[in-house]
Structure 1
C-alpha cells in the first residue's frame, strides 16, 4: 500500500490555507463535490506539486440492500481518474432504502446509517463491494462509521465484521478512530477490543476528527477540535501497526489555519510517539499505550477472537464459509430481501414517522430523527443558500415544519426545490417581493428548460422586476 503520510480533508472553505500549510503530504476530497471536467484550481495546483488527492465517496450506500448504482460507480471511477488517485474510499453504511425489493417508495436518509452486523448484511455487503471493485480503476477502501443507534440481534462485533469483510473481498479498510470513540459512547462498544480484532494489515489509512457530547450522546460533528480520547485510540492503533496515512477531517466551523496546523502536528506526534518502544531494546512486543496492548499482544488476541468466532459459527452451522448457504445466497435474493425489509422499516421510522421496529431503542431513534432533520436543513441551506436569504431568520423553523412527514426521496437539490414549492403553495414568504424572487428562483431550476434561456421569459421577468421597482 502506498505510504500517504499526514493529510487533511480538502474543503473549498479552507482551500487556500491547505495549499500554504506545511507538512501536508496528501488531501482527501468529497467525491460527489468534484466535477472531473472542471477540477477546482486548488486541487489542480496541489496535484501539480505532487500532493496525492484521494476521492472520498458518501452516496454509494454499499451497505444497502440494493446493488450499487452503475452511474454512481462510473462517476466515482471518473473522479479517481481525473485526480490521478491511488485509491478511492467509501463507507460501510446504507443511505437509502425501499424501492423494488420492498415494493415501496425509495427513501433517502441524507446520512450514513449503520448496517446490522449479521451474516445476511455481510453477504450483501461483500457482493456489493465486489461489484464496486470490478467497476473502479483503482483499489477501494471502506470506512467504519459512527452511529447513534444499534441494531438488535447482531451476530458479530465490529472488529469481527471488518475482519471477515476484508478476508472475503480483499477490500482495504479506512479506520476512523473518532468513529470508534463515538460508538464507545453511544453504543457501549470497546475500542480496544475493536483494535485487537482488526486485520491491521488491511488498513489503507486512518481518519481523525472531533465532535461533542450532549446528554450522554456523542455527535461526530467534524466541527470541533480532536479530543484526547480519540488521540488515545489513534495511539492504540499506531502501537499495533504503522498506518500508511493519517488524515484530519474538518467539515464546518473552520478555525484559523494555525489551529489546523497545531492539530495536524498533534496527530503526527501521537503516531510517532506510539510507534516508539517504551524501553530500548525490548521492541514493540512490550509496548503499551492508553489505547490498548502492544502489537504482538494484539495479534494474539485478534487470532484468539477470530478462532472463537469461527468456532461459534461452526457450532451454529454458520461461519463465514457457510454464510452464503445459510442465508440462501445473495444471488437468490433472500439475504437482500431480508436486509431490505429491515432497513426500510428503520429508515421509515426515522424519516417518515412510522412505528419504531421491534428491538430498537425508541429514545435513541428520536435522537437520530432529530439529528437527520437538522442535518437535512443545514445541507439544503448549503446546496441552495438563496432559500435562507429569502426567508431570513424564519428559514430553519419553516424547513423543520416542511420536513415533518415529508421524507427525502431524491437528494438534497430536489429537496430544496420541494421546499420552495411548499413555501409558494403556502403563500410564503409573506413579503411579496421575496415571494416573487423565490418563485423566479424555483421556476428557473424546476423546469425542463431554464426559463432564463428563453427570450420571452427573460422579457417577462424584466417587466415584472420593473413593475416591482415602481
Structure 2
C-alpha cells in the first residue's frame, strides 16, 4: 500500500486553511461533492503541489440488499481517474431500500449475519470489477445493534477481507463510538482484524449525551479516540491517518494542532504490515433469497427510522428512537444547506426547522436532499402554508423556479394530502416480522 502520511478531510469551508497547513501529506474528498471536470480551484492547487487526493464515497450503500448502482460506480471510477487517486473508499453500511423506496440520508449498520455478509461480499466484488483502483471499506459508528447477530465486528471484517481481498479503512473514532453505544472493545476489534489489509485510518471528534456517543465530526478529537489510535499504532504503522471535520470548523491553527497531536499519538507506531491479496472465496447459499431476506429486514428498520412505523422486534426501541431523531435533525440541516432560501421564506431557522421536522414525521426522503427540499415546499403549498400570503407567494415562486411547474390544483392538493396522511404502518411490509428463514 502506498504511504500517504497524515492528512485531513477537504471541505470547501476550510479550503484556504487546508492550503496553509504545514506538512500536509494528503487530503480526502467526499466523492459525491465534486465534479471531475470542474474541480474547485483550492483542490486543483493542492493537486498541482503534488498533494494526494483520495475520493471517499458515501452513497453506494454496499451493505444494502440491492446490487450496487452502475451509475454511482461509474461516477466513483471517474473521480478516481480525474484525481489520480491511489484508491477509493466507501462504507460498510446501507443507506436506502428499494421496496419501499426509502432513503436514510445517513450510513446505517449492516446486520452481522452470514446472509448479510454474503450479500455484502458480492456487492464488493461487483464494485471492485467496476473501479480502476483498489477499494477500501470503512467500519461505521452505530447507535444501536441488530438482534440475533452471528458475528462480531472483527469476525465480520476478517471474513469480508478474506473473501474479497478488499482493504480496510479503520475509523478509530467509530470504534470508540461503538464501545460507548454497543459495549464493544476497540482493542478486541484491532486484535481480531487482518491489519495487513489496512489502507488508512480516520480520526474524528464527537460528543456524549445521556450515555449515547454521537459521532458528530464537529468537535475536537477526544483523548479516548487518540488512545484507540495509539492502540492501533502499537500493532502496525498505518500507511495514512486522516482527520475528519464536517461542521463547526475551527481556525486553521486549531486544525494544525490536532494534526500535531495525531502525529504524536503515532510516534511509537509498529512496523507496517504486508498487504493482503485476498482469497476471493465464493459466496454460499441461495444469494437471491438472501438478498430478499436482508432487504425485508433493512426495510422494516429503515421504515421505523424515517417513516414512523413500529420498531421491529428485538431492537432497543429507545436507541432506535434516538437514531430516528438524529436522522431527522440531519435531514433538516442538510435541506437548509442545499436550499438556504427556505429558512428566510419561513421566518427564520427555528421556524423552518419546526415546520420541516413536522413534515418529515410522515414524509420519508425518497430521492435525495434537493428533491426533499422541493417536496417539502410543495407539501407546504398543498396545505396553503405559510399563513402569511407574502411568504406563500415567495415560496410559490421559489418552488416554480426549481420544479419548472405550476403549484398543483386544489383537487390534486386534496388527493396528495390524503396520500401523505396514509401511514406506512398499514402496509404489509411494516407488519412483516423481522427474522430469517431457517
TM-score using structure 2 length: 0.88
Bigger Cα Rg? 1
- 1:368 and 2:323 are equivalent in the alignment: yes
How far residue 218 of structure 1 moved from its aligned partner, in angstroms, is: 0.2
- 1:217 and 2:174 are equivalent in the alignment: no
SS at match of 1:239: helix
Task: Provide Cα deviations, 1:106-157, integer angstroms capped at 9, x if missing partner.
Answer: 1101100000111101111010000001111111100000000100111111
Task: Provide Cα deviations, 1:232-277, integer angstroms capped at 9, x if missing partner.
Answer: 00000011000000000000000111011000000011111x327x
Q: Distance in 2 between matches of 1:381 and 1:215?
A: 27
Q: Distance in 2 between matches of 1:82 and 1:408?
A: 31
How far residue 168 of structure 1 moved from its aligned partner, in angstroms, is: 0.7
Kept in 1: contact 2:221–2:258 (CA 8 A): yes
Q: Distance in 1 between matches of 2:15 and 2:388?
A: 38
How far residue 424 of structure 1 moved from its aligned partner, in angstroms, is: 1.6
How far residue 430 of structure 1 moved from its aligned partner, in angstroms, is: 3.0
The equivalent of 1:242 in structure 2 is 237
**1:126 aligned residue (101, 111, 121):** 121
**1:160 aligned residue (155, 162, 172):** 155
Kept in 1: contact 2:100–2:299 (CA 8 A): no
Q: Report 1:418-457 matches (<5 A).
A: 418-447=375-404
RMSD of aligned residue pairs (Cα, Å): 1.7
The equivalent of 1:65 in structure 2 is 65
Unaligned runs of at least 5 residues, structure 1: 277-283, 285-294, 297-319, 450-470
Q: Distance in 1 between matches of 2:345 and 2:226?
A: 43
Kept in 1: contact 2:122–2:283 (CA 8 A): no
The equivalent of 2:92 in structure 1 is 92
Q: Report 1:275-354 matches (<5 A).
A: 275=269, 324-325=283-284, 328-330=285-287, 333-354=288-309
Please identify which structure carries the higher helix content: 1
Q: Following superposition, which runs of at least 4 residues in structure 1 exceed 3 angstroms of deviation?
A: none
Task: Provide Cα deviations, 1:373-393, integer angstroms capped at 9, x if missing partner.
Answer: 001101111111111121113
Q: Distance in 1 between matches of 2:226 and 2:153?
A: 20
Q: Report 1:365-404 matches (<5 A).
A: 365-391=320-346, 392=348, 393-404=350-361
- 1:83 and 2:83 are equivalent in the alignment: yes
Kept in 1: contact 2:167–2:199 (CA 8 A): yes
The equivalent of 1:29 in structure 2 is 29
SS at match of 2:127: helix
Q: Distance in 2 between matches of 1:131 and 1:56?
A: 18
SS at match of 1:275: coil
Q: Distance in 2 between matches of 1:405 and 1:383?
A: 21
How far residue 421 of structure 1 moved from its aligned partner, in angstroms, is: 0.6
Q: Distance in 1 between matches of 2:286 and 2:92?
A: 20
Unaligned runs of at least 5 residues, structure 2: 274-279, 407-438
Task: Provide Cα deviations, 1:297-321, integer angstroms capped at 9, x if missing partner.
Answer: xxxxxxxxxxxxxxxxxxxxxxx97
The equivalent of 1:417 in structure 2 is 374
Q: Distance in 1 between matches of 2:82 and 2:33?
A: 13
TM-score using structure 1 length: 0.83
Q: Distance in 1 between matches of 2:181 and 2:17?
A: 34
SS at match of 1:407: coil
Q: Distance in 1 between matches of 2:381 and 2:308?
A: 25
Aligned length: 398
SS at match of 2:321: helix
How far residue 361 of structure 1 moved from its aligned partner, in angstroms, is: 0.6
SS at match of 1:109: strand
- 1:182 and 2:160 are equivalent in the alignment: no
How far residue 432 of structure 1 moved from its aligned partner, in angstroms, is: 2.8
The equivalent of 1:266 in structure 2 is 261
The equivalent of 1:228 in structure 2 is 223
